[in-house]
Chain A
């Protein structure tokens, strides 16, 4: 049973809108990473937060932003949604930054 929960499980948005995805990490896990997984592809790293500060970023534009809170929850915000943003968004938490990530089941975002 995974200790990482994500909400919502599915979401449909219109192009140009903004979306906020939420993640609740395993208790004590101070590192959270967000990934985008397009259909039939491996997850792509968006960014990582460690102790509430951004700690690394992948090749994603600034309209992808995030927050991490002291209660081990975090958010992924995407502004000005584009059709290509349609994907499964995964949150993963870790006790430290040295691997061993636990993934949530993801949020399936569809942009129409």
Chain B
């Protein structure tokens, strides 16, 4: 079955700096790659996603890049702010399975 690895498990960056979180996956049939942000006491919130026919997607301070050949994708957050502190999950979906496989998460701390 599909396996999703996410790194790092914890990341601390100075406010205003950039943060990068990386994920790798094993099944080349995967074709949908969402990123979720989870704050304390809440469910995961979709912040950006990318499909296999696109290499990069940007939404204001957040961007995701996808390398299908290498089977990895990354989340980039620029100009980080205190409200970016949360746990971030990458995930992978295959149409034929209709389920989302999550990474183990990255706890992002934005330092003042």
Inter-chain contact B103/A42, CB cutoff 8 Å: yes
The prevalent SS among residues of B at the interface is strand
Chain B contacts for A102, CB-based, 8 A: 46
Inter-chain contact A99/B43, CB cutoff 8 Å: no
Complex-state Cα separation, A43 to B46, whole angstroms: 14
Inter-chain contact A90/B44, CB cutoff 8 Å: yes
Partner of B41 from the list A45, A50, A105 (CB cut-off 8 Å) is A105
Chain A residues with a Cβ closer than 8 Å to the other chain, count = 27
Of the listed stretches B11-19, B61-69, B70-78, B89-97, name the one at the interface; the rest are far from the partner chain: B89-97
> A1-37 vs B: 1/0 string, CB under 8 Å?
0101000000000000000000000000001010000
Tell me the chain B residues, 40-92 only, with Cβ under 8 Å from chain A: 41-46, 49, 89, 91
Inter-chain contact B98/A43, CB cutoff 8 Å: no
Inter-chain contact A100/B49, CB cutoff 8 Å: yes
Inter-chain contact B43/A104, CB cutoff 8 Å: yes
Report the nearest B residue to A55, measured CB to CB.
B98
Complex-state Cα separation, A31 to B97, whole angstroms: 13
Residue B100 at the chain A interface, CB threshold 8 Å = yes
Tell me the chain B residues, 16-52 only, with Cβ under 8 Å from chain A: 32, 34, 36, 41-46, 49
A-B contact pairs, 14 of them (CB 8 A): A31-B98, A41-B104, A42-B103, A44-B102, A50-B98, A56-B99, A58-B99, A92-B43, A99-B34, A99-B93, A101-B34, A101-B46, A103-B45, A105-B42
